[in-house]
């Protein structure tokens, strides 16, 4: 060996502040470690499946966040080395979510003092180690003149001790004391819940999302892993359990001043038929695809070990590969892509996957799925648009036809009823199309057509609409009755044969009769 390499303290800054885009990502790191510890405890039979829980205690007064799990804990023997070594995790990539051995440092960037406390079952002592993070951060800043070795600096700023405790307990606890301004969200229950509901491996809320059981059952049926833990946020004696944010009903985003309801009508799975061991599986929503869902839980997202890897933008990027404008189609769905393959590795920030051949192969495969979803959106939209045009055209024809009859005058109550029925049928056809859920342009067309029908129906209902009323000459009751009968006979005769010309003939005859009578009456008057 030529020389012993040394690692400078600056590296610590890269591994903490430099590592994550969102301060809350450091909380995710601890939850992920808790998840792994709970899994181990379940396997060892220390806790029953489903009993594992992570409790987050917020104390605004002391600006402290405490994260405690009832996982397997760390034995006194291994505790110090586990807590002090960096990048030397003994976790296995095929079993655990974390494996790099750096996530534990994440909190250092945000607090004055960081404690790790743990106890394995059966042991009598709690092992504790604390770090003076403020001083550590100062020493790790590039502007500090001295370049100290990382191990040396860390060693100087940490203190180890033990505490007595009842032997039944087993836990791991992280305490972030004196949180900085940058970590304000750590003390806001709402912000914390929003973040963890998106990211943490928690359950669906079955009361809010009725398909929760169906998804869990499906994954279990094929033995697909979807590890879940319970996460609780405690603040001022209040407590809330964190669930994934999915729900059964959403709204679309406002587009052209329109907001539509989105009912999740079912869940689809991909691959629909499972053969062999797939590298991933997907659940996604079935809905009317009326637009982009207006919610933070909208858009398919990728998860590994049930922990989110970035947000919906990762999958939106795949949609954009087909056509740039298709990127928005991801927001028409809710769903999750669960990566099963152990050859696919999350990047160190956990906001995407390492671009290795395995991931590239999955990505290629995923493109087929994405393409199919784009087609779904387009086809549904086309299908919605087609009948609209037909219905509108038919409504317009009827409106014009009835309008002409009204102008000439209807012959008899029978004819009136027939025409009324015709108009009503058209109105019903429009109503059946669920106008409110349509996009703006369609909606306005349908509404105009319906309004025209309603107007003509009103005209038809007026007593002035009878042809007899349009004859200006004064006819007595008998004459009126005869005229009505004549017109009705003509109408019936012509309407027996289904020919559009006949209807025109009838209109012309009716019009001629009324006009003829009116002209004659004028002549009569002028003669007098």
Partner 1 sequence: MSNILLVDPDYSSRFPPLGLLKIATFHKAKGDSVTYTRGKDPDLKGLFWHRVYIASLFTYELPKTVDTIKFYLPAVADSSDILVGGIAATLMPEYIKSQIDCTVITGPLDRPNILGGDSKPVDSLTPDYKIIDNPRFDYRPRDAYFCKLTRGCIRKCPFCAVPKLEPTFSDCKPLAAQVKQAAAVNGERRDIVFMDNNVLAAESFSNSLNVLCELGFQKGARQNRRERIVDFNQGIDARLIDRKMAKQLSKICLSPVRLALDYDGMIEPYQKAIYHMYDAGFDEFTNYVMFNYNDDPASFYRRLKLNIQLSNDLEIRVSGFPMRYAPVDDVSRKFIAPNWHWKLLRGIQCVLLVTKGLVSPNAEFFYRAFGHSLEEFLEIMSMPERFIIHREHFEEIGETFEWKAKYDKLTSSGRTNLLSTLHELNQTRDKKSLIQASGPLKPILWHYYPGGNVPKYEDYKPPKKSRNHSKTTSKTRTVQSRTR
Of the pair 53, 125, the CB lying nearest partner 1 is at 53
Q: Which residue's CB is nearer to partner 1, number 54 or number 483?
A: 54
d(CA 445, CA 170) in angstroms, rounded, equals 67
CB distance 126 to 117 below 8 Å: yes
Q: Does 295 bind partner 1 (CB under 8 A)?
A: no
Q: List, in order, residues 6 or more apart from 381 with CB less than 8 Å away.
A: 289
Cβ-based nearer residue to partner 1, 21 or 237: 237
Q: Is 237 near partner 1 (CB under 8 A)? A: yes
Indicate the angle between helix axes 477-495 and 413-432, nearest 10 degrees: 50
Name the minimum Å distance from CB 169 to partner 1. 19
Q: Measured from the CB atom, is 30 or 209 closer to partner 1?
A: 209
239 binds partner 1 (CB under 8 A): yes
Q: What is the DSSP letter of 150?
A: H
* Backbone φ, ψ for residue 174 (5° rounding): -115, 130
Cα–Cα dist 208/100, whole Å? 36
Can residue 236 be called a binding residue for partner 1 (CB under 8 A)? yes
Is there binding between residue 294 and partner 1 (CB under 8 A)? no
Closest listed residue to residue 67, CA positions, set 102, 98, 111, 101 = 111
Window of 240-248, 298-306, 372-380, 422-430 that interacts with partner 1 by CB under 8 A = 240-248
Q: Out of 207, 348, 372, 522, which residue is the one contacting partner 1 (CB under 8 A)?
A: 207
> How far is it, in rounded angstroms, from Cα 350 to Cα 335?
19
Q: Are 281 and 338 in contact (CB under 8 A)?
A: yes
Residue 205 in contact with partner 1, rule: CB under 8 A: yes
Is the Cβ of residue 128 or residue 229 nearer to partner 1 in the bound state? 229
Q: Which helix (DSSP H) or strand (DSSP E) does residue 308 occupy? A: strand 307-308
What is the distance between the alpha carbons of residues 182 and 410, in angstroms, rounded to a whole number?
A: 79
Residue 134 binds partner 1 (CB under 8 A) = no
Q: Is residue 10 a contact point for partner 1 (CB under 8 A)?
A: no
48 is a contact residue toward partner 1 (CB under 8 A):
no
Shortest spacing between CB 236 and partner 1, in angstroms: 5
Of 241 and 431, the one with the shorter C-beta distance to partner 1 is: 241
Is residue 388 a contact partner of residue 441, using CB atoms and an 8 Å limit?
A: no
Query: Which of these ranges, 12-20, 137-145, 204-212, 251-259, lies near partner 1 under the rule CB under 8 A?
Result: 204-212
Which one of 40, 170, 230, 304 is in contact with partner 1 (CB under 8 A)?
A: 230
208 binds partner 1 (CB under 8 A): yes
Query: Please, what's the largest Cα pairwise distance for the chain?
Result: 135
| Cα 6–Cα 12–Cα 18 angle in degrees, nearest 5 | 135
Binding mask 140-179 for partner 1 (x = CB under 8 A): ----------------------------------------
Nearer to partner 1, 190 or 378 (CB): 190
Q: Counting contacts by CB under 8 A, is residue 59 touching partner 1?
A: no
Q: Name which of 233 and 344 has its Cβ closer to partner 1.
A: 233
The residue range among 145-153, 239-247, 353-361, 386-394 that interacts with partner 1, by the rule CB under 8 A, is 239-247
Q: Near partner 1 by CB under 8 A, which window of 29-37, 200-208, 221-229, 439-447?
A: 200-208
CA 53 remoteness from chain centre: 26
- For the bound state, the minimum distance from the C-beta of residue 42 to partner 1, rounded and expressed in Å, comes to 18
Residues 10 and 139: their CA atoms lie apart, in Å, by: 8
User: In the set 25, 232, 371, 420, which binds partner 1 (CB under 8 A)?
Assistant: 232
Whole-angstrom distance, CA of residue 361 vs CA of residue 339: 12
List 240, 279, 422, 480, residue binding partner 1 (CB under 8 A) = 240
Query: Is the Cβ of residue 177 or residue 205 nearer to partner 1 in the bound state?
Result: 205
Q: How far is the CB of 287 from partner 1 (least distance, A)?
A: 18
Q: Which two tokens stand for residue 159?
A: 């203190």
Q: Which is nearer to partner 1, 207 or 522 (CB)?
A: 207
Q: Could you say which of 95, 241, 454, 455 contacts partner 1 (CB under 8 A)?
A: 241
The CA-CA-CA angle for residues 206, 210, 211, to 5°, reads 100
The burial class, CB within 10 Å (0-12 / 13-18 / 19+), for 92 is: exposed
Secondary element (H or E) of residue 117: strand 111-119
Contacts of 177 (CB under 8 A, 6+ apart): 62, 63, 64, 111, 112, 113, 114, 115
Q: Which residues contact 199 (CB under 8 A, 6 or more apart)?
A: 28, 31, 307, 308
Site size for partner 1 (CB under 8 A): 14
Region from 148-156, 230-238, 335-343, 508-516 binding partner 1, contact rule CB under 8 A: 230-238
Please list, in sequence order, all residues whose beta carbon lies within 8 angstroms of the beta carbon of residue 217, skipping any fewer than 6 positions away. Answer: none
Least separation in angstroms between CB 238 and partner 1: 4
426 is a site residue for partner 1 (CB under 8 A): no
Distance between CA atoms of 397 and 59, rounded to whole angstroms?
71
Distance CA 224, CA 277 (A): 9
Q: Does 198 bind partner 1 (CB under 8 A)?
A: no
CB of 69: closest distance to partner 1 in angstroms?
A: 17
Contacts of 186 (CB under 8 A, 6+ apart): 23, 24, 27, 58, 65, 110, 176, 179, 192
Residues that bind partner 1 in the complex, under the rule CB under 8 A: 190, 193, 205, 207-208, 230, 232, 236-241, 247
């Amino acid at each position: 060996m030529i020389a012993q390499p040394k690692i400078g303290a600056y590296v610590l800054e890269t591994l903490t502040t430099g590592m994550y885009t969102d301060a809350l990502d450091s909380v995710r790191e601890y939850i992920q470690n808790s998840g792994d510890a709970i899994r181990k405890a379940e396997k060892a039979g220390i806790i029953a499946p489903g009993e594992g829980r992570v409790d987050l205690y917020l104390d605004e007064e002391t600006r402290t966040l405490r994260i405690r799990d009832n996982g397997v804990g760390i034995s006194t023997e291994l505790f110090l080395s586990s807590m002090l070594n960096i990048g030397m995790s003994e976790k296995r990539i095929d079993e655990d979510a974390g494996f790099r051995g750096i996530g534990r440092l994440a909190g250092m960037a945000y607090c004055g003092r960081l404690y790790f406390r743990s106890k394995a079952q059966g042991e009598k002592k709690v092992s504790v180690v604390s770090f003076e993070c403020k001083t550590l951060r100062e020493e790790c800043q590039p502007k500090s003149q001295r370049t100290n070795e990382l191990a040396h600096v860390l060693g100087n700023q940490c203190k180890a001790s033990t505490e007595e405790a009842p032997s039944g307990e087993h836990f791991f606890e992280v305490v972030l004391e004196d949180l900085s301004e940058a970590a304000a969200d750590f003390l806001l229950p709402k912000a914390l819940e929003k973040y963890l509901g998106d990211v943490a491996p928690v359950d669906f809320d079955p009361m809010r999302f009725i398909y929760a059981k169906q998804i869990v059952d499906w994954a279990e049926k094929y033995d697909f892993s979807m590890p879940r833990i319970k996460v609780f946020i405690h603040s001022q004696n209040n407590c809330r359990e964190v669930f994934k944010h999915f729900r059964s009903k959403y709204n679309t985003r406002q587009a052209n001043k329109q907001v539509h309801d989105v009912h999740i009508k079912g869940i689809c799975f991909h691959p629909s038929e499972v053969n062999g061991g797939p590298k991933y599986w997907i659940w996604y929503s079935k809905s009317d695809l009326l637009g982009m869902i207006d919610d933070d839980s909208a858009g398919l997202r990728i998860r590994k070990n049930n922990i989110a890897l970035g947000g919906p933008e990762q999958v939106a990027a795949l949609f954009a590969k087909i056509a740039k404008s298709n990127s928005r189609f991801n927001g028409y769905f809710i769903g999750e892509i669960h990566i099963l393959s152990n050859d696919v590795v999350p990047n160190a920030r956990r906001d995407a996957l390492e671009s290795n051949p395995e991931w590239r192969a999955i990505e290629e495969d995923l493109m087929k799925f994405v393409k199919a979803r784009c087609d779904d959106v387009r086809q549904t939209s086309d299908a919605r648009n087609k009948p609209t045009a037909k219905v509108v055209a038919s409504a317009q024809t009827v409106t014009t036809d009835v309008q002409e009859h009204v102008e000439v005058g209807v012959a008899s109550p029978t004819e009136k009823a027939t025409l009324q029925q015709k108009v009503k049928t058209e109105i019903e056809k429009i109503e059946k199309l669920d106008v409110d859920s349509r996009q703006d342009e369609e909606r306005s067309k349908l509404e105009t057509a319906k309004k025209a029908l309603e107007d003509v129906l009103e005209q038809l209902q007026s007593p002035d609409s009878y042809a007899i009323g349009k004859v200006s000459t004064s006819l007595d009751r008998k004459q009126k009755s005869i005229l009505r009968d004549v017109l009705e006979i003509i109408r019936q005769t012509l309407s027996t044969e289904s020919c559009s010309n006949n209807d025109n003939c009838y209109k012309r005859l009716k019009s001629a009769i009324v006009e003829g009578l009116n002209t004659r009456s004028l002549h009569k008057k002028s003669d007098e």
